[in-house]
Amino acid sequence: MHDPLSRLEDLLRGLEGRRGKVSVLIGTAGATTLPMQIGQTVSRNPDAVLIDVNPKENPFQGLARNHPNGIVLEGNSGDVLPRMVALWEKLGIT
């Protein structure tokens, strides 16, 4: 199975040279309306990259897993986000 960060790198490289939308949902359980609305709106855009960062099962994992450019990074944000930032810096994403 593909390492999730390697898959994320592949998805982000696919955005090179064009404007893309990346949504990162971090540590939310989806218990309020706004995060769910944002997640559902992004999930309807087949060109977006949808990233869910959470150590626990949540509704956004399903959105990310069912999206062609979705990825679930299971873990605490304090562990996952520094690795994501390092990857973005490596790729020159600002």
Residue 27 binned pLDDT confidence (cut-offs 50, 70, 90): confident
Cβ atoms of 50 and 43 closer than 8 Å: yes
Surface-to-core class of residue 52, CB atoms within 10 Å of its CB (0-12 exposed, 13-18 middle, 19+ buried): buried
Choose between 7 and 15: higher pLDDT: 7
* 43-82 pLDDT per residue, tens: 898 888 899 999 998 888 999 999 999 999 999 999 999 9
